Amino acid sequence: MAKHTKNNSTIAKKTQVFALIAIYISISCLTQAQAQSPEDNLIYNPDFESYQDCPRRIDALGILTIVDAWFQPTNGSADYFNICGMKECSIPNNKLGIQEPHSGNGYCGIYCSKTEYREYLQTQLKQPLKAGERYRLTFHVSLSEYSSGAIATIGGVFSKHRLFDTVRSVLMLKKERKISKKITQTTSTYYTPQVVNNYNNVLINTKGWDTISSEFIAEGGEEYLTIGNFFPASHSNIVELDSLTYLLPGAYYYLDDVSLYCLTCPPPYDPPKDTTNYQIGNVFILKNIFFDFDKSNLLQQSYNELQKLVELLGNHPNMKIEIGGHTDNKGAIEYNQRLSENRAKSVVKYLINRGIDEKRLKFKGYGELHPIDNNDTEAGRFNNRRVEFKIIDL
């Protein structure tokens, strides 16, 4: 009888342990499911479905400007494709290959190797990464059958600052060291992607999509993601395939559906409420608004700042604003006036395209007439070249 009781006690203890394990697994799965809800994806426009205009042509020297939140960090010309695009950049058939989207109606494309020519895609995250937390980056690639080879080493680099260079080759980290007053030495080193496809897993899928996905621990403060091949051709595991047509000089990959989730962050909390006392006449500088040099074309690096303004106007449906453009004092007064007005107009056009009623918006160019800093220094001129918004009604 005692032995039977002891067995029952042992079974009960084991049952409790299994129950605790089941509860732990359930909580872990629930936490991960919550973390991986679409709203918690730290990537803006992850599926390339939001754009300013349908793509018209493939330009070998072009700059990616029409797909929201994504831009190219080098002079290598990343491409955008959409079902609404013209023949060269339509879907599924386009100038660089044939492929259906992984989802939706659009995707991007970049050269990744066979030669040292490179193209990259870059975006600013919704928020900086938190030190010590574990994240998972996932994206999907498909090899164009027009390529002249396939590679393995496509990956993603997370950085605290925007990576940028004027090269059309491998994007590298450059550091300058002063040898003397007249001599400066520049050294270049390869970036190490936090996430990279396995070297032995060559990405050869032309009919469908391969998934690149891996976890990493954040250093903290990383705010930009750059996707591409950060390895030289000799270290990219290039293979040649009989199934390819060899119409293109290298390995060209389509890219779609990018996601970044924090796997260990605490549950999201309600962000602090905006306590700004908005009043008629208040003027606010829009930081991080970028244009082509001496032009009024908005660059995609402006997306995050403009999204904040869209949200502000959405939260204050009666607010009316004037967008004001300003320049430094370089160039003719008439030219600067016209440039500042066109830049302000471009911002208003963007807001209208994002659903803001045009009756709530005005624009005005002030040229060089209202500097906020000294025009005798480059830093001062940079501050004077700005876009502001003024509240004209609440």
Backbone angles phi, psi at 245, to 5 degrees: -90, -15
All domains of the chain, ordered by start, with CATH?
40-262 (2.60.120.260), 283-393 (3.30.1330.60)
Which segment of 13-22, 141-150, 302-311 scores lowest on mean pLDDT? Answer: 13-22
Q: Where does the pLDDT of residue 271 fall: very low under 50, low under 70, confident under 90, or very high at 90 and above?
A: low
Section 218-224 average pLDDT: 96
- Tell which phi-psi region holds residue 73, choosing left (phi > 0), alpha (psi between -120 and 50) or beta: alpha
Question: How far is residue 153's CA from residue 169's CA, in Å, rounded to a whole number?
Answer: 15
CA-wise closest residue to 149 among 117, 121, 106: 117
Query: Which tokens hold the place of 169?
Result: 């080759």
CB 237 within 8 A of CB 114: no
Section 258-279 average pLDDT: 84
CB 110 within 8 A of CB 230: no
Q: 199-205: list long-range contacts, CB under 8 Å, 24+ apart.
A: 199/152, 199/153, 199/237, 200/152, 200/237, 201/152, 202/150, 202/151, 202/152, 202/237, 202/239, 203/141, 203/143, 203/150, 203/151, 203/152, 203/154, 203/253, 204/143, 204/150, 204/239, 204/241, 205/142, 205/143
> Is the entire prediction scored with pTM above 0.75?
yes
Cα 333 to Cα 10, 18, 372, 384, 388, distances in angstroms: 89, 78, 17, 14, 20
Specify the DSSP class assigned to residue 38: G
* Strand partners for 256: 140
CB 261 within 8 A of CB 40: yes
Query: Which tokens hold the place of 318?
Result: 């009666």
pLDDT digits (tens, 9 = 90+) for 36-53: 677 889 999 999 999 888
Section 132-138 average pLDDT: 97
Order of strands, sheet of 361-365, starting from the edge strand that comes earlier in the sequence: 283-286, 386-393, 320-326, 361-365
Question: How far is residue 189's CA from residue 185's CA, in Å, rounded to a whole number?
Answer: 13
CB 307 within 8 A of CB 44: yes
pLDDT digits (tens, 9 = 90+) for 92-134: 999 999 999 999 999 999 999 888 999 999 999 999 999 999 9
pLDDT digits (tens, 9 = 90+) for 163-198: 999 999 999 998 777 777 677 777 889 999 999 999
Question: How far is residue 216's CA from residue 238's CA, in Å, rounded to a whole number?
Answer: 26
pLDDT above 90: residue 280: yes
Cα 150 to Cα 70, 171, 182, 204, 263, distances in angstroms: 24, 19, 45, 6, 32
Q: Which amino acid is at 226?
A: T
Q: Which amino acid is at 355?
A: G
Give the number of residues written for the chain.
394
Q: What is the pLDDT of residue 342?
A: 93
Question: How far is residue 240's CA from residue 221's CA, in Å, rounded to a whole number?
Answer: 40
pLDDT above 90: residue 209: yes
pLDDT above 70: residue 18: no
pLDDT above 90: residue 267: no
**Other C-beta atoms within 10 Å of 34: how many?**
13
**Percent of the chain whose predicted confidence (pLDDT) is above 90:** 69
Backbone angles phi, psi at 233, to 5 degrees: -55, -35
pLDDT above 70: residue 7: no
Question: How far is residue 324's CA from residue 362's CA, in Å, rounded to a whole number?
Answer: 9
